[in-house]
Amino acid sequence: MRLRVRFVLIVLCCMFAHHHATEAKAQYLNPKIKEKKVTIRSAVILPAKVEIVKESAKGAEMMVAESADISNKTVEAVGQALQKKKISVVTNSFEPAALDDARKYTLADIQSRYDALLPKLTSKSKDVKKARFTLGDEVMLLNAPKDADVLVFIRGAGRMFTKGKTAFSIINIFSMDFPFAQITVGFVDARSGEVLAFTKPLSASKVLKDQKSLNKMIESSLKKLPAATP
Amino acid sequence: MNRKRFYPVALLLLSLIVSSVPVGARPLPIRASQASSANQQTGTAEQTTDDKFVFGKVDQDLLSEINLLDERFEKDGAVYHEIGLDAYLNRVGTAVVAQKKLENVEWKFRVLRDPVPNAFALPNGSIYINTGLIALLDDENQLAAVIAHEITHVSRRHTYLRNRSLRKKILAINIINTVGTWNPVGGPVGIAIDLIASISPLMLALSVLGYSKDQEKEADLEGMKSATAAGFAPDGMPNSFKAMQRDVEGEQFNSFYSDHPKLQERVTYTSSTIPADAKKPSEDDAKTARDDYLALMESVDRHNVDLAINEARFRSAVYVSQKLVALHPDSSENVFYLAESYRTLGPRNAKLNNEQLTSGAKKKATKTRSKRTLEEIDAELLKTPAGQEAWKANSAESEKLFLRSLELNRFNARAHRGLGMLYERLNRKQEAASEYAKYLELAPNAIDTERVRRRLAVLRESMN
């Protein structure tokens, strides 16, 4: 009897896990975008921060180089998704190597302003629809190209499991411990600093290894973002 | 006990025993030639010194990740650079290190652009001191003590030891969870296994954190010894903790667990190790040491005020700016920083009162900060009489200071910009527009020209 109950629970857990492992496409638009008071025609993508860790049965390990690599790939994926919406994209104007100390510091400060807002954005994403969030006009300190409408902030976290950890997670199915990747993309008005759109797709960790899956995930997560009209 | 019952129980107990023995108490891989001499010197078999630390694959992997992380701090603009400051930190750090040569360690002393009072060490020898901590300390002895504390973490290989310990404990937690999940035993023994399986991961997790408290104490005491041996005053360590006790932002409260011993506790045990006959500096010498340190750190402190304002640590900004003005009261720049701090302080009081310093009030404020945006907090405060009063007082103080800054240097463009922002908030549009115009005239190529130009345009449009 006891084992039969466990079997049912396992099946339920598998269904729950499968549901959550598939892409969750949460997208939130500021009324200004929805009501077409603001149209995004040009975007500046800031350096992304996607942190991934390798988890074994003995705990998590940093993957600094891989994190940098996946960050660049995510910038690429977001860029491609925006271009498909006829939004022109600038990706390399904030390459750290090309910046002097003062500009590097300014970029870091704006990034940390966004990082401070991110927990609220993530937990109360629906409030983007109420135009609740802003970074302030300090974003103009970045001196982005004059025609830029938005700054794009990309953040993410992901876990990759070793074989040992995978075995443990299957055996301990009740602990709901699975590899995943969550990427958030925030579109911030390049002049006022207002958050105009926010998306937080969640996916299985395969997107961390496969560029095509990543592109697909990002593209579908930006589905609601209106295309630029001439 | 039959076999069916024996295996889960045995596995559980084994994982608990293996994971609960601290790493320091188990023999680490020791080079045979070095073991005996090291033991003779230290008199203990357990003490982990640099001499007997042997790098395993896990440690090498961690080190290579840490080296990459170090490079990333630099690339991301997290490290503050200033030629004089870098050289000074290197001088203090090198004095404390005292030619310690360790495998896989290259000593680097750096300032991290972070207004939170903190310092940390990476196991590759990079010591980072936040601008927020530099601004809080009073003299070179305290700085040397902080550096010495971090150096001990590196020289005693604390990160590697903790990582090894953590890995074992996490493995144990995974095994325990598995046993608990698939426990086929019924009856009282089965209930007991379930109970152990559900409690032990928490106990192990706490023991992982608890281990760090010992390392912190070791770093405090050993660090104190090395700083004193390098010629710095022995009271630098307790005094640095006293400086950190200034809870300017109301962030220090008792949480369920903290990896550092309490500050007062640290003051007590480090003070008790100072020899009674240790030479105490005179009042004048202490003041000179304070002023010398502050003068050296003036530009970092100014930078820290900018960072503090950016990260909404307005009270810290006021605190540090006040120190700057006390050091050089006739510096237009320093007065500007104080004015800017008061302007951004808005409806908050500059110093937390006793009511705001209670543990409950601090926790509540932290919760509010995590839920509300800055604009919402300001709006809520402005609805209260205390908030209104603070806003009026801060605005008046800020205006007075901006004007004083301009009196000291009428070409201080940023003081004009600050006044413009203050007047704009006070709805004194004409004056705000005039100040913005002066700013643009004095600093046509500043980084925020576009921002100010836009503000001016919006103001002018609203006035027409």
Using CB atoms within 10 A of its CB, is residue B49 exposed (0-12), middle (13-18) or buried (19+)? middle
Q: Which fold has domain B299-463?
A: 1.25.40
The secondary structure of B300-369, three-state, reads: HHHHHHHHHHHCCCHHHHHHHHHHHHHHCCCCHHHHHHHHHHHHHHCCCCCCCCCCCCCHHHHHHHHHHH
Of B174, B178, B450, the CB nearest to A140: B450
Count the helices and strands in chain B (H runs, E runs): 20, 4
pTM of the predicted model as reported, rounded to 2 decimal places: 0.86
Find chain A residues with C-beta within 8 A of B8's C-beta: none
A144: left (phi over 0), alpha (psi -120 to 50) or beta: beta
Residue range(s) in chain B whose domain bears CATH number 1.25.40.10: 299-463
A8 reaches B (C-beta below 8 A): no
- A62 to B307: CB separation less than 8 angstroms, yes or no: no
pLDDT at position A119 over 70: yes
For chain B, percent of residues with pLDDT exceeding 70: 82
Q: What are the DSSP calls for B44-84, one per residue? A: -SS---GGG----HHHHHHHHHHHHHHHHHHHTT-EE--HH
Query: Exposed e or buried b for every residue in B173-201, given b needs 16+ CB within 10 A?
Result: bbbbbbbbbebebeeebeeebeebbeebb
**How near does any CA of chain A get to the CA of B75, in Å?**
6
Count the helices and strands in chain A (H runs, E runs): 6, 9
CB < 8 Å from B in window 110-149 of A: 111-113, 116-117, 119-120, 132-134, 137-138, 140-141, 143
Please compute the mean of the pLDDT values over residues A76-105 and round it to a whole number: 88
Rg (CA), chain A: 19
Which residues have C-beta within 8 Å of that of residue A141, sequence separation ≥ 6? A106, A109, A110, B447, B448, B451
- Name the closest residue on chain A to residue B176, using Cα atoms: A172
Are A50 and A74 within 8 A, CB to CB? yes
- Name the closest residue on chain A to residue B63, using Cα atoms: A62
Strand partners, B126: B108
Are A205 and A7 within 8 A, CB to CB? no
Of A63, A96, A112, the CB nearest to B311: A112
Tell me if residue B370 falls in helix, strand or coil.
helix
Are B107 and B262 within 8 A, CB to CB? no
How far is Cα B284 from Cα B286, in angstroms, rounded to an integer? 5
Q: Which of B76, B83, B173 is best to mutate for the A interface (most A CBs within 10 A)?
A: B76
How confident is the model at residue A89, as a pLDDT? Answer: 93
Find chain B residues with C-beta within 8 A of A113's C-beta: 310-311
Q: What is the separation of C-alpha B154 from the centre of its chain, rounded to a whole number of angstroms?
A: 17
- Name the closest residue on chain B to residue A114, using Cα atoms: B311
How far is Cα A124 from Cα B437, in angstroms, rounded to an integer? 39
Please compute the mean of the pLDDT values over residues B415-419 and round it to a whole number: 98
Q: Which two tokens stand for residue B392?
A: 């009026």
Of B65, B80, B174, the CB nearest to A62: B65
In which element (H, E) is residue A97 found? none
Cα–Cα distances in Å, from A95 out to A44, A72, A92? 12, 11, 5
Assess: ipTM above 0.90. no
Q: What is the separation of C-alpha B65 from the centre of its chain, rounded to a whole number of angstroms?
A: 22
pLDDT at position B302 over 90: yes
Q: Which two tokens stand for residue B429?
A: 């549009």
A107 reaches B (C-beta below 8 A): yes
Which residues have C-beta within 8 Å of that of residue A97, sequence separation ≥ 6? B75
Tell me if residue A59 falls in helix, strand or coil.
strand
Find chain A residues with C-beta within 8 A of B68's C-beta: 64-65
A198 reaches B (C-beta below 8 A): no
> What φ, ψ does residue B40 adopt, rounded to 5°?
-65, -40
**How near does any CA of chain A get to the CA of B352, in Å?**
23
Are A69 and B39 within 8 A, CB to CB? no
How confident is the model at residue B209, as a pLDDT? Answer: 54
B430-455 pLDDT, tens digit each: 999 999 999 999 999 999 999 999 99
B43-77 pLDDT, tens digit each: 333 334 445 789 999 999 999 999 999 999 999 99
For chain B, percent of residues with pLDDT exceeding 90: 64
How confident is the model at residue A112, as a pLDDT? Answer: 95
Q: Residue B204 — pLDDT band, cuts 50, 70, 90? A: low
Torsion of CA B12, B15, B18, B22, to 10 degrees: -100
Instruction: Choose the most confident range, by mean pLDDT, from A166-180, B158-172, B193-207.
Output: B158-172
How far is Cα B179 from Cα B197, in angstroms, rounded to an integer? 7
Are B427 and B364 within 8 A, CB to CB? no
Strand partners, A56: A59
Residue B78: count of CB within 10 angstroms of its CB:
18
Find chain B residues with C-beta within 8 A of A132's C-beta: 373
**How near does any CA of chain B get to the CA of A137, in Å?**
7
How confident is the model at residue B32, as a pLDDT? Answer: 33
